Amino acid sequence: MAKARGKYAKAISDRSGLEFPYLEMVKEWNGSFVHKSEYEPKHPQIRRRHHAADAIALQNPRPQKLLDTDVNLDANQFISFDVDSQVPQEDGSVQNKRRQINMSVGDVTVSIS
């Protein structure tokens, strides 16, 4: 089927309602048929952006290995665990008060409590 060239054709702009030559008309992103002098490109904030999902789980998780024996090296510095439950045997606040590291490196003394 043959199409007309539109050499003398006129078109009405959807934005202003004015008559313009058909060959100078363009279609906007929202479907409006407007003259090229009235054309407005799509605003960057309207464009969809692809957002990748956040990572939720580890790819190859491994369960924590249980200890074979009771760990109780020094009651003043370390926590004693029950092997079956893996839960501290004492109140955590009491254990935190007993933890203290004093280290001497040259002339610098580091104290963490």
CB 79 within 8 A of CB 98: no
* Burial (CB count within 10 angstroms: exposed 0-12, middle 13-18, buried 19+), residue 14: middle
pLDDT at position 3 over 90: no
Asked if residue 84 belongs to a domain, the reply is yes
Give the domain extent around 31.
8-42
pLDDT in tens, 9-48: 999 999 999 999 999 999 999 999 999 999 999 888 887 7
Do 72 and 110 sit in the same domain of this protein?
Answer: yes
CB 12 within 8 A of CB 19: yes
pLDDT in tens, 72-97: 555 455 555 555 555 555 566 666 66
Asked if residue 1 belongs to a domain, the reply is no
Asked if residue 47 belongs to a domain, the reply is no
Of the candidates 14, 51, 19, the residue with the CA atom closest to the CA atom of residue 29? 14
Asked if residue 19 belongs to a domain, the reply is yes
Asked if residue 22 belongs to a domain, the reply is yes
Asked if residue 28 belongs to a domain, the reply is yes
Asked if residue 56 belongs to a domain, the reply is no
CB 14 within 8 A of CB 32: yes
- Torsion angles phi and psi, residue 93, rounded to 5: -65, -35
Which pLDDT does position 87 carry in this prediction? 55
Provide the number of structural domains found in the chain. Answer: 2
Which pLDDT does position 18 carry in this prediction? 95
Do 71 and 111 sit in the same domain of this protein?
Answer: yes
Which pLDDT does position 83 carry in this prediction? 53
Which pLDDT does position 44 carry in this prediction? 83
Do 71 and 110 sit in the same domain of this protein?
Answer: yes
Rg of the chain over Cα atoms, rounded to whole angstroms, equals: 38
pLDDT at position 57 over 70: yes
Q: Which amino acid is at 17?
A: G
Residue 34's CB: how many other CB atoms inside 10 A?
Answer: 22
Do 31 and 74 sit in the same domain of this protein?
Answer: no
Do 36 and 77 sit in the same domain of this protein?
Answer: no
Asked if residue 59 belongs to a domain, the reply is no
